[in-house]
A and B are shown apart, each in its own frame.
Chain A
Amino acid sequence: DAKTTQPPSMDCAEGRAANLPCNHSTISGNEYVYWYRQIHSQGPQYIIHGLKNNETNEMASLIITEDRKSSTLILPHATLRDTAVYYCIVRVPNQGGKLIFGQGTELSVKP
């Protein structure tokens, strides 16, 4: 699985968009970008995934650059409950495959 690089921490004002970057310059053609988050001491929670097109769901948007070497997770209107560690994971979505978590980005949403 490709290695990812994320900033260790970020702050965001409540109600503003949170843009969380991830670099994955060694991504291969069949690897997807997944985002999970972990609210303090809880189990990780799936957010979104994508291959090359931008994706949006009820939680977030995922923007993947054309060369697929980086991506940005966007929380459009961050709330205090979005304070969490956000993990960018790049992998082939084979059935049953493990998730390899890095250190992630600790997002603090402040009032």
Chain B
Amino acid sequence: EPEVTQTPSHQVTQMGQEVILRCVPISNHLYFYWYRQILGQKVEFLVSFYNNEISEKSEIFDDQFSVERPDGSNFTLKIRSTKLEDSAMYFCASSVLAGSYNEQFFGPGTRLTVL
């Protein structure tokens, strides 16, 4: 069964450093998303991406964040200058343009720890 994959599973970085989180969505999917979950809190939407541009973004997704689909398979989230409060699980998801159901498939997540 096809699945969304994410690398790395765990990333440790120093405050102020740049990090890139990588995702490989399901191959025939066209919509891509990033969510995050701070420990003990709700899953929060960050950004959605379609046709090589951002469809929607939340207030969390400020100028420190960017997304890119550098090739036909990868979807990346970059945090330019990490802060302590960026420590969280980051989940990538994808969905296929089919009918009207927009079922989203999530990856296993990347745990980002900012020291």
- Does A103 lie at the interface of the complex (its beta carbon under 8 Å from any beta carbon of B)? yes
Are A43 and B107 within 8 A (Cβ)?
Answer: yes
Give A32's nearest chain B residue, CB to CB. B101
Q: List 28 A-B contacts (CB under 8 A).
A: A38-B43, A41-B109, A43-B91, A43-B108, A44-B43, A44-B93, A49-B103, A87-B43, A93-B101, A94-B100, A94-B102, A95-B31, A95-B97, A95-B100, A95-B102, A96-B31, A96-B48, A96-B55, A96-B95, A96-B102, A97-B102, A98-B45, A98-B56, A98-B58, A99-B35, A99-B45, A100-B45, A103-B42
The range of chain A's interface size is 20 to 34
Q: A96-B95, A96-B102 are in contact. Are A101 and B44 (CB under 8 A)?
A: yes
Are A44 and B106 within 8 A (Cβ)?
Answer: yes
- Does B73 lie at the interface of the complex (its beta carbon under 8 Å from any beta carbon of A)? no
A87 to B106, CA, bound (A): 14
Give the shortest distance, in Å, between B29 (CB) and chain A (any CB): 11
What residues on B are CB-neighbors of A32 within 8 Å?
Answer: 101
Are A42 and B109 within 8 A (Cβ)?
Answer: yes
Contacting A at CB under 8 A, from B53-107, are: 55-56, 58, 89, 91, 93, 95, 97, 100-107
- Does A26 lie at the interface of the complex (its beta carbon under 8 Å from any beta carbon of B)? no
Q: A44-B106, A96-B55 are in contact. Are A49 and B101 (CB under 8 A)?
A: yes
Beyond the given pairs A43-B106, A94-B100, A99-B104, 15 more chain A to chain B contacts, judged by CB atoms under 8 angstroms and listed by A's residue number, are A32-B101, A38-B43, A41-B89, A43-B108, A44-B104, A49-B103, A93-B100, A95-B97, A95-B100, A98-B45, A98-B48, A98-B58, A101-B42, A101-B43, A101-B44
